């Protein structure tokens, strides 16, 4: 099926006869493959008698060489997959198989993409960026403090460089445009965090997606915001360069050196929020984050600090 898709990627009409000849199959076999493409990859295909078949929009596939040309200063090997369960899961498998960090895993499609708190991350084929960077961490917990927030800053700047001016951060792991989610971050760790470990920086960015009925929250994409398709190879290169720059700052000065910058870009700074922790709800006003990246809330006139992977922040109606 992917061979057929690559023949159609230019968005132009191709006759069933020509497609069959290129694939070495009958026109009826081409028709069956087209039906599978639509059903399995959720890619609309236009069919016009006398002209043939074309994709609703051209596709640009991820390409390691193009990514490297756009980020020549990076020496991160890039592994690209057509379809895998999730880039984070593949990254963890590669760590287990002995692959040397740093390296990047990308996929055109995820069949079991994951967000925070076990949520599904919707991953249509060749429309978005599903990205995992693996780092080897030596020297203890300080290098992990506020790391997901640092990744958020890198994503934010890559989006802004690509024309999404209204992007802002939401503690701890989201990037929003207005109240709509455009990117999410999921960090996973393997090994001893007090000694030597590996951390997987998983990033999902809605790039050219224009509809997704499966998503259970407000969302947007770069194309919806900018009004035109975005070259995902250029975006991945920009993202890599921003990650390298921010990770270098974090390594040199810890999250404390980026605390002010992060707060300047926090969408909910000074807002009334509810912090959900399991069955408990804490209402307060966002004061910012501390030097380790934990959330600072004014709760009834008292400043309190919250951190942890299972916390969820929601905007209150009175904000």
Q: Any idea what the Cα angle at residue 24 is, between residues 23 and 28, rounded to 5°?
A: 85
Tokens for 109, please give them: 């499609």
* Whether 116 is catalytic: yes
* Catalytic pick among 117, 120, 211, 314: 314
Distance from C-alpha of 184 to C-alpha of 181, rounded to nearest angstrom: 8
How many residues does the structure list for the chain? 319
Burial string for 121-155 (b: 16+ CB within 10 Å, else e) reads bbbbbbbbbbbbbbbebeeeeebbbbbbbbbbbbb
* Whether 165 is catalytic: no
**Residue 170: CB partners within 8 Å, gap ≥ 6?**
176, 266, 267, 268, 313
* Half-sphere exposure in the Cβ direction for 166 (13 Å, CA): 13
φ/ψ of residue 177, rounded to 5: -125, 110
* Whether 314 is catalytic: yes
* Catalytic pick among 54, 181, 232, 238: 181
Annotated binding site for biotin: 86-88, 110, 114-116, 181
Distance from C-alpha of 146 to C-alpha of 294, rounded to nearest angstrom: 7
Cα distances (angstroms) measured from residue 231 to each of 63, 69, 70, 182: 11, 14, 12, 16
Residue 131: which of 205, 70, 220 has the closest Cα?
205
Annotated binding site: 86-88, 110, 114-116, 181
Tokens for 312, please give them: 């969820």
* Catalytic pick among 116, 170, 232, 238: 116
Q: How far is CA 295 from the centre of its chain?
A: 22
Q: Which residues are designated catalytic?
A: 116, 181, 314
């Amino acid at each position: 099926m992917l061979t057929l898709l690559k023949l159609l990627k230019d968005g132009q009409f191709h006759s069933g006869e020509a497609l069959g000849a290129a694939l070495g199959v009958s026109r009826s076999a081409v028709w069956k493959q087209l039906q599978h493409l639509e059903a399995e990859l959720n890619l609309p295909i236009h069919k016009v008698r006398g002209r043939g078949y074309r994709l609703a929009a051209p596709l640009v596939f991820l390409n390691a060489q193009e990514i490297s040309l756009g980020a020549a200063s990076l020496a991160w090997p890039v592994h690209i997959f057509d379809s895998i369960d999730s880039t984070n899961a593949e990254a963890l498998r590669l760590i287990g198989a002995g692959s040397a960090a740093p390296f990047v895993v990308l996929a055109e499609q995820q069949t079991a993409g994951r967000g925070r708190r076990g949520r599904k991350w919707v991953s249509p084929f060749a429309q978005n960026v599903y990205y995992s960077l693996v780092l080897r961490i030596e020297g203890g917990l300080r290098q992990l403090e506020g790391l997901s927030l640092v990744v958020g800053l890198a994503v934010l700047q890559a989006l802004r460089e690509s024309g999404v001016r209204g992007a802002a951060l939401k503690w701890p792991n989201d990037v929003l445009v207005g109240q709509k989610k455009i990117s999410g971050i999921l960090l996973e760790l393997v090994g001893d965090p007090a000694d030597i470990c590996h951390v997987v920086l998983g990033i999902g960015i809605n790039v050219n997606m224009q509809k997704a009925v499966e998503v259970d929250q407000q969302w947007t994409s770069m194309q919806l915001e900018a009004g035109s398709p975005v070259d995902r190879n250029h975006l991945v290169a920009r993202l890599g360069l921003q990650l390298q720059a921010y990770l270098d700052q974090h390594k040199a000065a810890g999250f404390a050196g980026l605390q002010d910058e992060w707060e300047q870009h926090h969408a909910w700074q000074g807002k009334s929020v509810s912090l959900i922790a399991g069955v408990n709800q804490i209402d307060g006003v966002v004061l910012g984050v501390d030097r380790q990246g934990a959330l600072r809330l004014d709760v009834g006139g008292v400043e309190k600090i919250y951190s942890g992977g299972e916390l969820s922040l929601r905007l209150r109606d009175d904000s």
